[in-house]
Amino acid sequence: MRIVHYLQRIDLEEGGVVRAVLDMGALQASPTRDVTILTHDAPDAPEAWKSGQPGVPHLKIVPAPSRPLGLFSGDQLRALEPMLKSAEVLHLHACWTTANNQLASMARRLGVPYVLSMHGMLDDWCMAQKTPKKKLYLAIAGRKTLEGAAFVHSTAEAELSQSKKWFPGGRGRIVPLVFDLEPYKNLPGPANADAHFGPAGTGDIDPSKPVVLFLSRIHPKKGLEHLIGATALLRDRGAPCRTLIAGTGDDEYLARMKTLAAQRGVSDDVRFLGMVTGETKTSLFQRADVFALPTSQENWGFVLTEALACETPVVTTKAVDIWPELEESGGSLLAQQSETAFADAIKALLDDDQRRASMGASGREWILETLDPAAVADRYESMYADAIAMAKETAR
């Protein structure tokens, strides 16, 4: 099977879509599946992909769209056509990439089936942002691309139920995202994080307080202000915690959050760590007593599954599309998106060591059993095979 993925950039600072494509590609490449990642820039692609080693995805760097609005020129499309023509399945990512419409149109002309992963971009919260612009885009080209797909891929029932109204004539397919279990099979312990950030991320500050971790892209939708407010409430209740904030993103929002921490009087208890990756990130999850993400919307939320894999109990909201699965795991509490609700949930866990340990063990066990990569790979294989069969049937 020959699969081509298209994503504009392989840069992990751009969020979960990049992580999803990296993990999909790594899982899907095999002796029976030839996987090509078509992109314009790939600073975070594995070196093995760049060097063309066997058994891994082939990385194909092509010029970025040269026309206004992120569109390919005619010459660029002609240069891309042989790559699409040789594919059995094209897998597109993200709803608002204008070049996707051009590649989808080419695929339909060539008789190559394509799958489009929404990555939560048609969720209700997302569609409530810049709604007129998004509706216009869908009317001009986006809906045709969605409804022309063999499958519009969602990762959970909650995502598909919110999104389907925007492509009523299309076909949805639910397949979970790939979660690479390898880094979590043998956990490194908190020493690595301590070496980088001081005990509990505190540097010279007293490390005796329990640790609450936020690790995600710094963006208004993540609701970081609710966590900073919860930190202040916990201090006022005589149950102070150390809140570590790891990630990069929206510089203006980050500055506002630092100002908010000062205004609420918790600058000493809230530490901003910047981007954290690799084993240090895994170690930081283990250092934390609770992981908290007061988000307004998440499609999958890799950080949530990462926290559970590290035996760290999670507090988040029902704005995560996989919230029923998180609840089922036994490792998560779901709270309203408010500082009071998050303070209550965090305190309930910090006050009960046995409950935290039990939730941590349950969450890790659920991750290792439910997100087995081989089983997920089979579901992608089935989706692609069905897409190919449908295309052949249409061509008759």
Which tens digits make up the pLDDT trace of 126-165?
999 999 999 999 999 999 999 999 999 999 999 999 999 9
Q: What is the 3-state secondary structure (H, E, C) of 278-335?
A: HHHHHHHHHHCCEEEECCCCECCCHHHHHHHHCCCCEEECCCECCHHHHHHHCCEEEC
| CATH number for the domain whose boundaries are 2-177+373-395 | 3.40.50.2000
Rg of the chain on CA atoms, in Å: 22
Q: Give the SS3 label for residue 207.
A: coil
For residues 327-342, average pLDDT: 97
Predicted local distance difference test score (pLDDT) of residue 35: 94
- Topology alike, domains 2-177+373-395 and 182-370: yes
To the nearest whole percent, how much of the chain has pLDDT over 90? 82
For the full predicted model, state whether its pTM sits above 0.95. no
> What mean pLDDT, rounded, does the chain reach?
93
Chain segment 240-275, per-residue pLDDT in tens: 999 999 999 889 999 999 999 999 999 999 999 999
In this predicted structure, the answer to whether residue 381 has a pLDDT above a threshold of 90 is yes
Q: Report long-range pairs for 318-324 (Cβ below 8 Å, ≥24 apart).
A: 319/125, 319/295, 320/293, 320/295, 321/120, 321/123, 321/154, 321/155, 321/156, 321/158, 321/159, 321/162, 322/155, 322/156, 322/158, 322/176, 322/298, 323/158, 324/156, 324/157, 324/158
For residues 71-100, average pLDDT: 96
Q: Give the start-to-end residue ranges of the domains of the chain.
A: 2-177+373-395, 182-370
Strand order in the sheet with 34-39: 58-61, 34-39, 2-6, 89-93, 114-117, 151-154, 172-174
For residues 376-385, average pLDDT: 93
Q: Which residue has the higher pLDDT, 204 or 7?
A: 7
Predicted local distance difference test score (pLDDT) of residue 396: 74
- pLDDT tier at 371 (50, 70, 90 boundaries)? confident
In this predicted structure, the answer to whether residue 199 has a pLDDT above a threshold of 80 is no
- pLDDT tier at 203 (50, 70, 90 boundaries)? low
- pLDDT tier at 73 (50, 70, 90 boundaries)? very high
In this predicted structure, the answer to whether residue 33 has a pLDDT above a threshold of 60 is yes
Domain 182-370 annotated CATH 3.40.50.2000: yes
- pLDDT tier at 200 (50, 70, 90 boundaries)? low
Torsion over CA of 125, 137, 251 and 339, rounded to 10 degrees?
-10
Predicted local distance difference test score (pLDDT) of residue 201: 56
Residue whose entry in the numeric block shows the structure tokens 């990569």: 373
Predicted local distance difference test score (pLDDT) of residue 202: 55
